[in-house]
Amino acid sequence: MTSIMSAMKTVLSLTVGRALVAVVLAAIVVGVLLLNDHRQKTPVTDRAQHVTLTDAQQMQLGSQEYTKTLRQNRARIISSGSQYAEVNRVARRIEAVASRDKPSFVWKVTLIRKNEANAYCLPGGKIVVYTGILPLTRNDAGLATVLGHEVAHATAEHAAERIEREHLTKVAAAIIAGGIAVTPGQFVRISALLGAAAGLPFSRSQESEADHIGLVYMARGGYDPRQAVAFWKRMQRAFKGHEPPEFLSDHPSDAHRVQRVEGWLPEAEREYGNRT
């Protein structure tokens, strides 16, 4: 009798185990089926790129990360005052420009009290600015330079490209589908790839591309692009020999960066002159 019982238990647990495996496999299959192949071009730079995650999937990933960040920083969120007004004023203009390239993204900016010079934009348009960056940006045009750069990472889908390069697209799709069949390690990895604040820098070519797109965005938003050159020169002096924040990250040489930005200036000045 006991042996029959234990045999039945074994069969039952096997069945339950198989059912679980089936659920997990189904989630993976659904995730994969939701993935499409996208051949598209980056805004402004017109670089042909291959990104599998859709705009909607990127927005969902970014929103999940954003919710987490806001929850962790609830007591530090600033929602009034002159810094709040400045960040919203500049973000609104940059967002309006970026929306032309990504009409489906839903933009939102949050200012967090943190003594760290940083700002970032998650996939899908959720922006985070730390108060520590405002003394460096100094004025609206300086802040527009940083926000243009960060927002460009989102419209050029740089995080999705990185996820793809690390063969994590299916994992990301599974997270979107409900987080099944994902190991904690993979989850942390995706999270790190999403938010620049989490530490992993974009590639050098992506950083350079964000500078180029960002410069054009600020010009289209009505900020004199020559102010960007002044800003980058200021940053060069301020961070010489220090660990740089995200918007300064992974550049072979700051002098080189200023030169490149100066090279894109005629294009940006045309946009500044022709803006509607």
Binding site for Zn ion (CB under 5 A): 207, 210
Residue type, 224: D
Question: From the DSSP assignment, how many helices (H) and strands (E) are in the chain?
Answer: 11, 6
Task: Identify the active-site residue in 150, 157, 209, 246.
Answer: 150
Cβ of residue 246: shortest distance to Zn ion, in angstroms? 6
31 or 162: CB nearest Zn ion: 162
CB neighbours of 266 closer than 8 A, spacing ≥ 6? none
55 or 207: CB nearest Zn ion: 207
Q: Classify residue 242 by its DSSP letter.
A: S
Answer yes or no: 150 catalytic: yes
- CA 170, 176, 180, 182 torsion-angle sign: positive
Cβ of residue 172: shortest distance to Zn ion, in angstroms? 20
159 or 176: CB nearest Zn ion: 159
Cα 127 to Cα 108, 119, 218, 232, 263: the distances in Å are 6, 7, 16, 21, 28
111 or 156: CB nearest Zn ion: 156
Cβ of residue 149: shortest distance to Zn ion, in angstroms? 6
**Do 95 and 71 touch, CB atoms closer than 8 A?**
no
- Which tokens go with 41? 């071009």
Cα 149 to Cα 8, 67, 201, 217: the distances in Å are 62, 22, 14, 8
117 or 171: CB nearest Zn ion: 117
Cβ of residue 71: shortest distance to Zn ion, in angstroms? 25
Using alpha carbons only, give the angle 199, 228, 158 rounded to the nearest 5 degrees: 35
Cβ of residue 245: shortest distance to Zn ion, in angstroms? 9
Active-site annotation, residues:
150
